Amino acid sequence: MRTRLITLLTSLLRLCFCRQPPTLLGLPRSILVVKPCCLGDVLLTTPLVATIRASFPTAQLMYAVGRWSKPMVATSPHIDDTLTLPDRWTLGSFVATVRVLRTRQFDVAFVPDRSPTLTLLVWLAGIPVRVGLDSAGRGFAYTHRVPVAFEVMHEAAVYGRLAPAAGLPVPPQRLFFFPTQKGAQVADALIEREQVGDAPLVIIHPGGGHNPGMSLPRKRWFPERWAAVVDALHAHGVRILIVGGPGDEAAVAQVSSAMRTEARALVRHWDWDELGALLQRSALFLGHDTGMMHLATAVETPTVAVFGPSDPQVYGPYGNLTRYVWHPTEYSPCFFAGAAVPDCPCAMQCMRNVDVFDVVAAAREMLATTRERGA
């Protein structure tokens, strides 16, 4: 009912706004990109950001983002500055943000998001050219509305449609993350301290599925199957590091206890800069539909992801050196527009359909590709 009311209201509001031709006039001095959440979603906007920067190298480019997701773009050379958005919108925080944006006098705003709140935000901020997604009429106040069609398309490609709508080139099919020198030093020290060795490093993340306001542990494959993958990969001359963040303690412990071989395990509150540098030094990453998986692809680490309730054609690893393993049921996917379907009849059958052999085969293929490239 709430969704229908929002759609009706935004459809009425769009009648109050006229549209401009889908081109940008002149060279903008200042550009705003707005995407509050979440870790992976913010990373999926980085191809668009890279194209904006390449098209307008002298413009001041600011990224407005939530506190949780800010590290995904904070180190990017494509961005001049970031603005931390409120964790939760209230009337007071919304008005305060509008005031801040108005003082910056942006020429153009790009909004790769489906939120009507953000649509209203950039309009009230007085930004003359507003390019954003128009899903179910929610882009009512944009001057350049990009329709969101009912088709299966990767989210990064959906966000990327904002570029040609503004007369810019199509963004590259890869994500971007830039670890700092400090992050690299910490990652090197961590590898030495954990005594991982000189063999190719494989990182496995058996947890994840948490973001502010949402927890979806159904994205996780079974610990005993991850343990079997670890055992199988040991025969390929690699060193394995099992990692986790807050909330992943049980998953990592269950994998470790089910293994017949040995592997280092490290669970900690990660600095994303340091984690990105660690992933960049790895020959292969294995995980789920998580921010860490997208981070691995953003530093161009070969990646294999196990998928279940979410659709990898929409949320999967984005890049050339990537594979996903997904055996959906007739009810799949059970995750739409950033929200899980309650009481999905699949009941984890999509995850049970993924066999250890499938994941090991994909991992072996990626390791062979890595060795051929001399990485």
Characterize the bridge pairing of strands 284-287 and 264-267.
unpaired
Residue 176 belongs to some domain of the structure? no
Question: Global pTM?
Answer: 0.90
pLDDT surpasses 90 at 342 = no
| 327 found inside a domain | yes
Burial 76-109 (b: 16+ CB within 10 A, else e): bebbeebbebeeeeeeeebeebbeebeeeebbbb
Residues 33, 64: contact at Cβ < 8 Å?
yes
What confidence tens digit (pLDDT) does each residue in 222-276 have?
A: 999 999 999 999 988 899 999 999 989 999 999 999 999 989 999 999 999 999 9
> Same domain, yes or no, for 201 and 272?
yes
Q: Does 117 lie in the same domain as 81?
A: yes
Same domain, 153 and 205: no
Element (DSSP H or E) covering residue 22 = none
For position 311, which CATH number holds? 3.40.50.2000
Alpha helix (H) ranges present in 76-132? 91-104, 116-124
Average pLDDT of the residues in 343-358: 84
Instruction: Reduce the DSSP state of residue 182 to 3 states and report it.
Output: helix
Residue 172 in any domain: the answer is no
Q: Is there a domain that residue 317 lies in? A: yes
Contact 178, 189 (CB under 8 A): no
User: Is 327 in contact with 370 (CB distance < 8 Å)?
Assistant: no
Q: Are residues 17 and 135 in the same domain?
A: yes
| Helix or strand holding residue 192 (H, E) | helix 181-193
Helix, strand, or coil here: 355?
coil
* Maximum Cα interatomic distance, the chain, rounded to a whole number of Å: 65
111 and 250 both lie in a single domain = no
- Kindly state whether residues 45 and 119 are assigned to the same domain: yes
pLDDT tens column, 282-341? 999 999 999 999 999 999 999 999 999 889 999 999 998 999 999 988 887 876 655 666
Residue 247 sits in the same domain as residue 361: yes
Among residues 165, 197, 219, the one where a domain terminates is 165
Within a domain: 64:
yes
**What is the extent of the structural domain holding 264?**
181-372
